[in-house]
Amino acid sequence: MRKIILLRRPDDPGPARHLSKNNLNIARVQWLRRRFPRAAIVVPFREPLRHAASLLEQHRALRARSPSRAK
């Protein structure tokens, strides 16, 4: 949960907002509901083929930069 980003505007005295894009948080929804019972939890879903293509592109880019792949 360390990568949660606190979004608070100085002119907004309302409750804090948290945004986490970590895909693994889907496994924590029940815990989050117990911990923050009044929170609104929004789970966005991307179009599956575009999401898979994006992950593949990221994977290839990271492999290309890997020192172990350099020859």
HEC string of the chain equals: CCCCEEECCCCCCCCCEEECCCHHHHHHHHHHHHHCCCCCCCCCCCCHHHHHHHHHHHHHHHHHHCHHHCC
Predicted TM-score (pTM) above 0.85: no
In the chain, what are the domain boundaries? 5-69
pLDDT at position 63 is 92
CB atoms within 10 A of CB 22: 11
**Which of 44, 37, 38 is closest to 22 using CA atoms?**
44
pLDDT digits (tens, 9 = 90+) for 36-47: 888 888 887 889
